[in-house]
Amino acid sequence: MNEVMTQKIEKLFDAIAKDYEGWAGRAKIKGRTAQDFRESLEVIVGQKYIKVTERGERVWGFVVNTDTDKKFQYGDILMAAGWKAPARNHARGNVMTEDFVAVNWTGPGYMR
């Protein structure tokens, strides 16, 4: 993962944590702060995708990590179809353009 992508993933993590903070405040969740939640986010870098997980236990989603995908652009945010693969039906935003409209703390939002 190059330096630019690393910075963009950090901004994605910030957006995810901000959504968590809003949800936790509305749900009156005590004990786990947005910073705690943000620190639980991790990446697993593969050839085609960057998998975003929560402590390596729950898949949040995927980010396209290649310029050679026929359907998606580099940096597109994809919902998880399962632990190993993304849902390839529609991009939910793009980390390179910081398009985080469809980003929730539970995962990428459904198609817009």
Reported confidence tier of residue 111, pLDDT bands at 50, 70, 90: low
Q: Is residue 108 one of the residues assigned to a domain?
A: no
Please, what is the average pLDDT of the chain?
91
Contact 8, 15 (CB under 8 A): no
Q: 41-45 and 49-54: which strand pairing? A: antiparallel
Hey, what long-range contacts does 50-53 have (CB within 8 A, 24 or more apart)? 50/1, 50/5, 50/9, 52/9, 52/12
Q: What is the average per-residue pLDDT within 76-104?
A: 92
Q: Per the domain annotation, does 27 fall within a domain? A: yes
- Altogether, the residues listed in the chain come to a count of 112
For residue 112, is pLDDT > 80?
Answer: no
**AA letter at 27:** A
Return d(Cα 23, Cα 26) in angstroms, integer.
5
Whether the CB-CB separation of 59 and 74 falls below 8 Å is answered with no
| Total domains in the fold of the chain | 1
For residue 110, is it within any domain? no
At 71-88, the pLDDT tens digits run 999 999 999 999 999 999
pLDDT higher for 100 or 16? Answer: 16
* Residue 111: inside a domain: no
Whether residue 109 is contained in a domain is answered as no
Domain span including residue 43: 3-103
Q: Is the pLDDT of residue 6 over 90?
A: yes
Position 92 scores a pLDDT of 92
